[in-house]
């Protein structure tokens, strides 16, 4: 499938890890005069399309911002509906994950989820932990600031008392994403230009792509467009274009 979409040179420039802030389910539903949960259900259905596209194209890591710590402030009915949709999704997709070699991970505080949702998440993580081909991470009850505070506490508990300032790689081992590469690309749907407490440290050098489409409309072609946009960019990591050209030619 990827051979039809990208040249060999383009495939070498594809991101390894894409994080997606799935925004706009409620607005999508409202524009159709339907309840917010209708939008969330269609958003969940769209997850399969984008994850499958990433797998077929050759993007090995996808992280989806599914439920933020701040989402706990939403009405109880909406939160309950979201957790039931999560349960339905994981129950339905487990066999496909096992068949396709997709490993599920999570970041966030699962203790903040209802027991039934926490159970299905932990069960799916356990059953897919042996998979090695593709990696799907769900950010659930997640907030980057909260993650960093816990990481600082963990690091200071283990660090020897000294004036040593740790390297980023040392500190990163205390983040929940320690087993994941930093994201190369962050996609946000629904036209909003903010990170909303998502992977703030990990995305320090990520490219950001904002789509005007609400998440339920962000389909496979839209995902491919985001990847093409990413490929077209020059990633300098603080260097000049001339320095990068010199490194590439040596």
Query: Which tokens is 191 given?
Result: 């036209």
Per the CB < 8 A criterion, the answer to whether 25 and 36 are in contact is yes
List the catalytic residue out of 25, 71, 109, 135.
Answer: 71
Tokens of 149: 């505070």
Residue found under tokens 């499958």? 52
Q: Find the distance separating the first CA and the last CA of the chain, reported in whole Å.
A: 33
**Cα distances (Å, whole numbers) of residue 164 to 156, 159, 168, 174:** 12, 9, 12, 17
Answer yes or no: 73 catalytic: no
- Of 23, 42, 141, 182, which is the active-site residue? 23
Sheet with 61-68: list strands edge to edge. Answer: 102-107, 134-142, 61-68, 17-21, 185-188, 207-210
Alpha-carbon distances of 143 from 140, 162, 191, 201, rounded to whole Å: 9, 30, 21, 12
Whether 71 is catalytic: yes
**Gap between the Cα atoms of 111 and 38, Å rounded:** 26
Catalytic residues: 23, 71
């Amino acid at each position: 499938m990827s051979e039809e979409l990208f040249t060999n040179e383009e495939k070498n420039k594809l991101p390894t890890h894409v994080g997606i802030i799935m925004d706009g389910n409620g607005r999508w539903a409202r524009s159709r005069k339907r309840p917010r949960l209708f939008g969330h259900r269609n958003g969940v259905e769209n997850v399969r399309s984008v994850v499958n596209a990433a797998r077929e194209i050759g993007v090995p890591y996808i992280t989806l911002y599914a439920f933020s710590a701040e989402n706990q402030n939403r009405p109880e009915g909406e939160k309950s509906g979201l957790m039931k949709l999560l349960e339905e999704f994981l129950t339905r997709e487990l066999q496909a994950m096992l068949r396709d070699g997709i490993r599920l991970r999570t970041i966030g505080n699962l203790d903040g989820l209802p027991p039934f949702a926490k159970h299905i998440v932990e069960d799916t993580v356990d059953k897919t932990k042996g998979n090695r081909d593709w990696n799907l991470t769900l950010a659930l009850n997640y907030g980057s600031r909260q993650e960093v505070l816990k990481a600082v506490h963990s690091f200071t508990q283990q660090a020897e008392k000294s004036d040593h300032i740790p390297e980023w790689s040392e500190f990163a081992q205390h983040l929940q994403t320690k087993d994941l590469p930093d994201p190369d690309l962050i996609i946000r749907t629904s036209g909003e230009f903010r990170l909303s407490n998502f992977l703030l440290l990990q995305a320090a050098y990520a490219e950001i792509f904002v789509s005007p489409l609400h998440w339920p409309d962000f389909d496979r072609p839209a995902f491919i467009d985001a990847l093409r946009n990413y490929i077209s960019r020059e990633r300098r990591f603080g260097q000049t274009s001339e320095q990068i050209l010199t490194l590439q030619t040596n």
